[in-house]
Amino acid sequence: MLGAFAVGKTSLVQRFVNSIFSEKYQTTIGVKIDQKLVQTGDTEVNLMLWDIHGEDNYQKVKPSYIMGASGYFVVVDVTREETLGVGLNLQKMANEMSKGAPFIVLINKTDLPQSEWYISETSINELKDKGLEIILTSAKEGTGVEEAFSRLTELMINK
């Protein structure tokens, strides 16, 4: 899980692994590791989820964290425009370190009113046009979460 701070990486993992959501923002120190067994077709896959601390002035993501990744999510907060730039920069670094591992951009917090969205549908479509796979998610309501993890698992298996 890569992205700027407070975009909802931990919430997405908690929603996926434990089906829970907390409104309270809890910053992640270092890396939080969780796992979940998922079924993809006939294959059972044990996903080892590295929820990496958010990137900002205080904490920078260490490239070595991504070295062994089979795939990754770049998480963006739809209400904070700057998180898209942070996410895309992290994606560049991750692409290099993971030698082209599959990834999906998750536009999170889509449960918030559209009037608060700072990443417009046009920007999302532009990213799609550039070939990025994008899923709109809400860790709060669970929207797109199962779909995102299933899709990334599928991409990782098929790679």
Partner 1 sequence: MLKDLPLKIVEYLVEEIPPYSGLLMIKVDNRGVVKNWKGNPKEYLGGKLTENESIEELVPALNGICPFDKGSVKLTKLQLKNKYCDIHVVKENGHYWIIFIDQTREVDSLKSLLQNMNEEQLKGRGNKTNSKEMPFRHLDKLNFATFLRKDDGSFSLQPNTPGWIKKHAFYNKASGSIDPISTFPFLEIFILEVEEFWKENKESYVVSETWSETFAGKDHYLRAYATNLNNSNYLFLKSFIREGVEEQNLLQAFRDSSLAFDKLAKTEKKLKELLVYKNKFNSIISHDLRAPIAAVLGVVNVLTTDEEEIGKLNEDYQELIYGIKDEMNRLLDYNNKLYHWANLELGNFKLEFETISLDEIIKIATETAREKCNEKNIALTINVEAGLKVRVDKTLFLQALNNLLSNAIKFTPISNSIKITAKKDDDKAFISVVDTGIGMNDDMVKNLFKESTNNTTQGTSGEKGTGLGLGIIKKIIEAHKFKITVKSVPGKGTVFTIEIPESNLA
Residue 152 to residue 103: CA distance in whole angstroms:
7
Considering the rule CB under 8 A, would residue 96 count as an interface residue with partner 1? no
Considering the rule CB under 8 A, would residue 85 count as an interface residue with partner 1? no
Q: Which of 25, 147 has the CB closer to partner 1?
A: 25
Considering the rule CB under 8 A, would residue 36 count as an interface residue with partner 1? no
With CB under 8 A as the contact rule, the residue among 29, 42, 44, 114 that binds partner 1 is: 29
With CB under 8 A as the contact rule, the residue among 22, 25, 120, 126 that binds partner 1 is: 25
Q: Which residues bind partner 1 (CB under 8 A)?
A: 5-6, 25-34, 48, 50, 54, 56-59, 62, 64-65, 67-68, 80
